[in-house]
Amino acid sequence: MKLNLGCGNNKLEGYLNVDSQQLCAPDQVVDLEVFPWPFEDNSVDEIVMSHVLEHLGETKEVYLAIIKELYRICQADAEIRINVPHPRHDEFIIDPTHVRPILPEQFHLFSKRLNAEWREAGYANTPLADYIDVDFEVEDVQWVLADDMLEKLQSGEISSDDLATRAQHEYNILKEIQIKLRVVK
C-alpha cells in the first residue's frame, strides 16, 4: 500500500490519499495526531508527506508517537518521502499552523545504527531510535533554493559556495527540504 499522508488538495494517483479535513475530499479521513492510525502493522511500502510534518506534533509526546506510527505501519525497506518548508524561509514563518521546524539531521536520532555509533563514541546525542524502538536511515536530502536565489545561481550572479554560506545564516535562501527515509526492520 502507498499512502499520501496529509494530502490536502494534492491527490496522488496510485496512493491512498489521507487527510484530517473532509473539505479536501481525501480517500480516507484520518487525524494523524490520534493513535493508533487505521492501518495494519507492516502494510505500507511507501509514504509521501508533502508539507505535512511541520503541522503535526506540537508536543514531543505526539511527535514521537507519529514517528512510532510511521514505523509500525511500514514494511521493512519502505520509503518515506518528506517535503517541508525550510525553517528560515518566510513560507515556514508566516503560517501559524506550523508547529515545529523539521531538519534532516533530526532523523539521525531515529537510526539504531547511529545510536550505537554515538553510544560507542561517548556522544551525548539522544538515542531516540532506542528509546522508542524505531529504525530509519536517511537516504537522501535535497535542499531547494528560493526562486530568486536559483535565478542568481543560474545567471552566475552568485556562486554555489556563496549560497551555501549564506544559507547557514540568512533567511529566504532555501525554500524547501526534501528528505527520503528508508525503514529498517
Where does 22-127 have alpha helices with state H?
60-73, 90-93, 112-121
The pTM assigned to this predicted structure is: 0.95
What is the reported pLDDT for 69?
Answer: 98
Confidence of residue 35 (pLDDT cuts 50, 70, 90): very high
Task: Please list the residues that pair with 179 across neighbouring strands.
Answer: 82, 141
Residue 20 · residue 56 · CB < 8 Å: no
pLDDT in tens, 120-159: 999 999 999 999 999 999 999 999 999 999 999 999 999 9
Q: How far apart are CA 98 and CA 179, in angstroms?
A: 18
Single-letter amino acid, residue 31? D
Pairing of strands 2-5, 16-19: parallel
What is the reported pLDDT for 157?
Answer: 95
Instruction: For residue 84, give the nearest of 62, 73, 100 by alpha carbon.
Output: 100
Residue 111 · residue 43 · CB < 8 Å: no
- Assigned superfamily of 2-145+177-183: Vaccinia Virus protein VP39 (3.40.50.150)
What is the reported pLDDT for 130?
Answer: 97
Bin 133: left if φ > 0, else alpha if -120 < ψ < 50, else beta.
Answer: left
Grid coordinates of 62: 505526539
Dihedral pair phi/psi, residue 53, rounded to 5°: -60, -30
Query: Count of alpha carbons within 13 Å of 8, Cβ hemisphere only?
Result: 8
What is the reported pLDDT for 37?
Answer: 98
